[in-house]
């Protein structure tokens, strides 16, 4: 196996490992009973409210008003990250074009459905179609973010290559 092939294989393994670790974190958080999950999200909400009060003390912010918002944003953010990680794993697996996007969204949606189904069996938790939709929106946004960043770096790389080629031509013309 060549150096390039072994680096490519290692990148593929690392990328998919990151995907599965993130899925495991989502699963771990989903398996918490309703009371534990609620305490965790209320704690995070209180932390965010404390920061907001320091930044903008003129606003009257109550934890109870933001708890639902924070919980739903946690869904969005978790699947945003999952979308980015799966897109990257698809790239390292050399899946290209529309197939990369399609497989990524399928994996993320199926995982969201399985996550909500799993929550049906956890005390104090429920599986919500709304949460699957929020998860899907998060994954789609993560995929879009990944595509945007990839496009930016490919443009930058092409521009850098053109500048380097122009510099080389200019340097040869001087001699």
pTM for the full predicted model: 0.78
Question: What is the extent of the structural domain holding 15?
Answer: 3-174
pLDDT, tens digit, for every residue of 55-85?
877 777 666 667 778 888 888 999 999 999 9
Return the pLDDT at 134.
Answer: 96
Neighbours of 65 (CB within 10 A): 11
Give the CA angle between residues 97, 102, 105 to the nearest 5°: 130
Residue 126 tokens, joined: 């429920």
| Band (19; pLDDT cuts 50, 70, 90) | very high
Residue 15 has pLDDT above 80, yes or no: yes
The total domain count for the chain is 1
100 burial (CB, 10 Å; 0-12 / 13-18 / 19+) is buried
pLDDT tens per residue, range 97-145: 899 999 999 999 999 999 999 999 988 888 899 999 999 999 999 999 9
């Amino acid at each position: 196996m060549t150096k390039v092939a072994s680096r490519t294989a290692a990148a593929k393994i690392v990328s998919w490992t990151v995907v599965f670790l993130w899925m495991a974190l989502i699963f771990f958080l989903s398996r918490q009973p309703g009371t534990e999950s609620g305490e965790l999200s209320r704690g995070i909400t209180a932390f965010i409210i404390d920061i907001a009060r320091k930044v903008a003390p003129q606003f009257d912010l109550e934890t109870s008003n933001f708890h639902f918002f924070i919980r739903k944003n946690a869904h969005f953010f978790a699947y945003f990250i999952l979308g980015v990680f799966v897109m990257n794993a698809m790239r390292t697996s050399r899946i290209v074009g529309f197939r990369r996007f399609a497989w990524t969204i399928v994996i993320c949606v199926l995982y969201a459905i399985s996550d909500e189904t799993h929550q049906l069996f956890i005390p104090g938790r429920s599986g919500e179609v709304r949460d699957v939709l929020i998860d899907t929106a998060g994954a789609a946004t993560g995929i879009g973010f990944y595509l945007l960043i990839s496009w930016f770096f490919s443009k930058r790389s092409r521009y850098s290559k053109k500048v380097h080629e122009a510099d080389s031509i200019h340097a040869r013309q001087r001699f």
